[in-house]
Every structure is written in structure tokens, then in C-alpha cells.
Amino acid sequence: MARHMPRSVSFGSRTIVIYHIVSKLADFHAPRALTMTPILRYQPSANIAQLRESATIAVSAKAKALKAAGRQIIDLGAGEPDFDTPSFINEAAAKAVQNGATRYTATEGILPLREAIAAQANATYKGADRVLAGDIVVSTGSKQSLFNACFTLFGPGDEVLIPVPSWTSYFEMVELARATVVPVAGEALRGFKVTAAQLAKAATPRTKGLMLNSPVNPTGSVYDEAELRSILDLASERGWWVLCDEIYQRIAYTSASAPGAFDVATTRDNLIVINGVAKAYAMTGWRIGWTISQPAVAKAMTAFQSHTTSNPAAVSQHAALAAMTRTAEADAAIAAMVSQFRARRDSAMAILRQDPRIEVVAPDGAFYLFIRAPKTASGEDAGSAFAAKLLDQASVAVVPGSAFLTPDWIRASYAAEQSEVDEAMRRIVAAYASPA
């Protein structure tokens, strides 16, 4: 006979009753009422009660599901280069595995990789406090680097300035750290780039930091050196942490590399520069990102990471090491990829500009087009309405701007075949012209 042994376990103020079932084969025939296990109803913890699913990943998942069901979808929702990792990187990784790179490494990453990252930073950073390997923490993608930084620097009662639009995960990460998001809206006319004056206006005595991303996802805007300098100067004056996310730095159309914090900063004690291999080297699946910060912050993030994921995959670190040190091959691969992105951008912009009513941010970096959606009758969430129309009627998947706190816009990625991007743009122009 089944024995139900209720036990209660206390977690703080909550008590959970656990039914322990000791069953034998014969018990399957026992009366149902006796053998039913009560279902523990799931309630999201206070930590994630406000968490929203990533809208960008949701769009990609929906597009993939429609494709699997037989629909011909042009998926412009993706946030990853549609190129393969350069083969010299794959080969270096395979060799590293054969040579035994299959074990745990130091939590903060292998020393040669951190030295290569430091050397690259010092090539532009001219401050007295040179970047050392000990200032670097390598993580499982720059997403984890950003989360490590948010979680170790911000907490309850802190306010964090986030330019709007910004990549969807910033809002969630700051909230997961139980800090308060303070959105700072950019102006469409300036490609949505925020100014030091706008940030100063939004600040309060509780402002603890700022998220800064250039080239920007979702607009493709690039902050120039003067714009970056004035924001970093303000942050230094006010004692704010600045999380500079430079993951799209090498995907830039006016110079080989978009300006970064180290091009303009003279000190870096309040800077956390985040970068990684995902976008520049078409290595999204390898999951390697990093932070460069002052040593005390690096130490705190290492301790945090040691209790969550430990080191990023050893093989991926060796792949990243090849990408960072075999610069001639890497630069050639990046140049080839960027020239294709540029051609697609130019062609897509030319198609969109055939209809002068279509407002689109002219992108100088990354691989996104940020397009204002036609107005809805209700005046609300035009971006979601237009994204739904594009998917249902034109079989084009894009991300609604609400994911970036700009509900009147949509984001279309041009990380897809040129012919597909062009066709999608023609469909967007047609959908724009046709009534809802």
C-alpha cells in the first residue's frame, strides 16, 4: 500500500508541504484518491515576478515555428550574423580540444585570453591605469557579462539610467538586480542618441549608473567621440558607474571600428566596458563575452560568477583566443562580413526611401533598421500592430518596438541574404501603403 508521508519544510515565512510517496508495483491498483500526488502550484518567486520573456527571442521562435509548419517566412527578427564562424577559429578550437582544453579553467577565464583582451584595450586606452589581465572577467556571452555587472553594482534603491530605445535585456537585468530603471528617451531626429544634458535632467541623488551601448541595438546609431566624451565626463563628475556595451563595435560603416569608451576616457575607475566575440567574429553560439573594469569590481564579478556558472566553456575560450590574436585573418573576415552588411543596408535603405512617408533611422553600425510604424486608429502600440500585419499578411518577421520601450517603431535585422532583405523591404513598403 502506498504511504503518503506529508512533511513540511519552511523557507523563510513560507511553508511547503511535500508528499513523499513510497510506491510499490501493487500500489498502482490502489484507489485513486489514495495515490494522487497534490500538485505544487507554481508561483513565480519575487525575484522574477516582473520578468518578461525576451521579445526578440520570442519573434525568432515564432518565425521558426511558422517555417516548420511550412510557411515561407523571411525572418528579420534575428540578432545574429548570418555568417559562419571563420574556419581558422573553428580549427584552433578543434586543436585545443585535442590538446586537452576540456576541463574547468579559472572562473575569470584563461590568462592568455585575458592578456589578449587587455592588449587590445591598451591599444586605444591611453590613461595611466593601463588595463591588466586581472581587470578582465570572461563570461558565457556578453549577456552574462552585463548581468554580472548589473547584479554586482546595482541593488534596491538604486536608479539606473537607460537610453530609450535600448536592447530589451537591459531593462530586465536592472530589474533583476532589484534596482529601478529610469528610461531616458532619445529623439528620433538624432537617431535616438541621448545627450549628457538629457541624462543629467533624468538623474536624481539615487542615480547609481548608466547603460550605454554603441553602435546601438536597435537603431544602428553610433555615438561619435565628442558625444561619448561628454557622457563619460558627466558620469565621472557625478560618480556613476557606466556600463559601456560595445558588442557591435566592429560592425561599423564609417570607420573600421566604432568609437568606444577607451578611445575617449582618461580614467576608467567608473567604467565597465563590455564586449565579446559573438557579433564581430560570427561566434554567437560559442558564448564568450567579457568585462573590463577596475580590479575590485572584477573580483566581485568573479566571485558572483564562481557561484553561478564558473568559467565559460574552455573550448570557446580557445576559439576566442584565436579570434583575438590572429588579427590579420580576423580583420579580413570582419571586413568581408561588414562589406556584405553595408551592401544590404544601402540596398534596403534605397527601397525604403522610395516611400517618403517611411521614417527610418540611418544606421552607421550594427545590422538593424529601425522603422516608424504607420499610425494605428487607436494611436497605441503601432509597432506591434505593424509587426503582426507583416507576419500575417507579408510573411516577414520583425521585432515590435515595444521590446525596446518605443512602441511606435519596429526593428528589422538585415542579417539575412541580400535577396531576402530586399524582398522584405519591398513588402514593408507595400504594407505601409495598404490600409490596415
Binding site for ligand PLP (CB under 6 A): 79, 141-143, 167, 213, 217, 245, 247, 276, 278, 284, 289
Beta bridge partners of 15: 10
How far apart CA 356 and CA 345 sit, in angstroms, is: 17
How far apart CA 293 and CA 325 sit, in angstroms, is: 21
Measured from the CB atom, is 136 or 278 closer to ligand PLP?
A: 278
Measured from the CB atom, is 215 or 374 closer to ligand PLP?
A: 215
Q: What's the closest the beta carbon of residue 139 comes to ligand PLP, in angstroms?
A: 8
Residue with grid cell 565559460, as numbered in its chain: 312
Measured from the CB atom, is 220 or 276 closer to ligand PLP?
A: 276
Measured from the CB atom, is 79 or 209 closer to ligand PLP?
A: 79
Q: What's the closest the beta carbon of residue 31 comes to ligand PLP, in angstroms?
A: 53
φ/ψ of 161, rounded to 5, equals: -80, 130
Residues in the chain: 436
Q: What's the closest the beta carbon of residue 286 comes to ligand PLP, in angstroms?
A: 9
Q: Are 428 and 391 in contact (CB under 8 A)?
A: no
CA-nearest of 169, 173, 136 to 151 is 173
Q: What's the closest the beta carbon of residue 213 comes to ligand PLP, in angstroms?
A: 5
Residue with nearest beta carbon to ligand PLP: 141
Measured from the CB atom, is 60 or 105 closer to ligand PLP?
A: 60
How far apart CA 412 and CA 367 sit, in angstroms, is: 9
Q: What's the closest the beta carbon of residue 18 comes to ligand PLP, in angstroms?
A: 37
Question: Under 8 Å CB-to-CB from 399, ≥6 apart: which residues?
Answer: 55, 56, 59, 77, 218, 387, 410, 411, 412
Q: Are 203 and 238 in contact (CB under 8 A)?
A: yes
Q: Provide the CB-side half-sphere exposure for 313 (13 A, CA).
A: 12
Measured from the CB atom, is 140 or 395 closer to ligand PLP?
A: 140
Q: What's the closest the beta carbon of residue 80 comes to ligand PLP, in angstroms?
A: 7
